[in-house]
């Protein structure tokens, strides 16, 4: 059986979803549709890089037309490789019907949940883990359908939580988790706890995989709107910080960072257009 061919794009696009490619409240992505189509026509991989779970992404990838590209889920704790990104010697033939190989560089979610429960009791902290919420509560917090909320609860390498205590105790949680080899990062709706991984490290892993398969390193564009995207945006050659209403500082200053005026998928399109209007070679599909 021959391995599917991976084309030679000059560019890889890594994108956050909620609040970026997807509207924060409605999850609509239509304002970005024309740019998604242009990138697909040029065979430029658009790689979802998100706090969402693998279960959530499987349906979304189909809806967005991204079934042939890899994905990074749970803020870097889960990496999905479609057949064209699989290495014949490094990846076993998967049993899954969609042909995905899934890598989990983080810690197991059950271990993370047990640690959080111990830390909460020992330090008298107030927070609620997603794993102890019922379906109705997750739906209320996320605005998702019942099916969507169930998919969001299918965690593999990270645990979201709602913080209900003061900021000084939050810093204590940061430090305690760090000693345990765990990391706390802020998303759009939740804080996320995982092993010592992040979106930037996962993107670097995928770039190294691409280079081992194709023999060159393409340019990279990263887009995101929240603090948990900063690790990604600090690693890509070009970065877009999409305007958001969360009020969290997005402290990344560089000539290669563009800040949009528009929010959500309209801001996503604005950012892509800003960089690709001046990026040679991407339309021809030839690496520079």
Residue 11's beta-bridge partner residues? 219
Which one is catalytic: 16, 18, 23, 198? 16
Compute the distance between CA of residue 192 and CA of residue 16 in angstroms, rounded to an integer: 15
Compute the distance between CA of residue 104 and CA of residue 273 in angstroms, rounded to an integer: 33
* Radius of gyration over every alpha carbon of the chain, rounded to an integer in angstroms: 19
**Distance separating the N- and C-terminal Cα atoms of the chain:** 32
Q: Where are the beta strands (DSSP E) in the chain?
A: 11-15, 46-48, 71-73, 78-81, 101-103, 127-129, 158-163, 182-186, 191-195, 219-224, 238-243, 257-263
The structure tokens 């030679």 sit at 8
Active-site annotation holds for 117: no
Please list the active-site residues: 16
């Amino acid at each position: 059986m021959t391995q599917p061919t991976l084309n030679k794009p000059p560019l890889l696009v890594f994108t956050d979803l909620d609040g970026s490619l997807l509207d924060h409240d409605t999850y609509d992505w239509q304002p970005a549709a024309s740019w998604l189509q242009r990138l697909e026509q040029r065979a430029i991989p658009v790689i979802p890089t998100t706090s969402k779970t693998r279960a959530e992404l499987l349906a979304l990838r189909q809806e967005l037309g991204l079934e042939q590209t890899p994905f990074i889920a749970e803020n870097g704790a889960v990496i999905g490789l479609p057949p064209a990104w699989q290495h014949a010697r490094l990846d076993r033939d998967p049993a899954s019907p969609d042909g995905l190989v899934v890598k989990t560089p983080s810690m197991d979610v059950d271990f993370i949940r047990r640690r959080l429960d111990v830390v909460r009791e020992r330090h008298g902290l107030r927070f609620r883990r997603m794993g102890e919420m019922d379906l109705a509560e997750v739906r209320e917090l996320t605005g998702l359908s019942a099916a969507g909320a169930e998919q969001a609860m299918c965690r593999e390498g990270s645990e979201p939580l709602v913080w209900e205590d003061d900021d000084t105790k939050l810093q204590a949680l940061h430090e305690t988790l760090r000693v345990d080899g765990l990391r706390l990062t802020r998303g759009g709706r939740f804080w996320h706890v995982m092993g010592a991984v992040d979106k930037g490290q996962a993107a670097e892993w995928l770039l190294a995989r691409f280079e081992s398969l194709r023999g060159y390193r393409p340019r990279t564009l990263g887009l995101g709107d929240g603090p948990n995207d900063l690790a990604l945006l600090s690693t890509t050659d070009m970065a877009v910080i999409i305007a958001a209403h969360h009020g969290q500082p997005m402290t990344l200053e560089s000539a290669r960072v563009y800040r949009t005026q528009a929010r959500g998928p309209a801001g996503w399109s604005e950012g892509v257009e800003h960089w690709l209007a001046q990026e040679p070679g991407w339309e021809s599909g030839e690496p520079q």
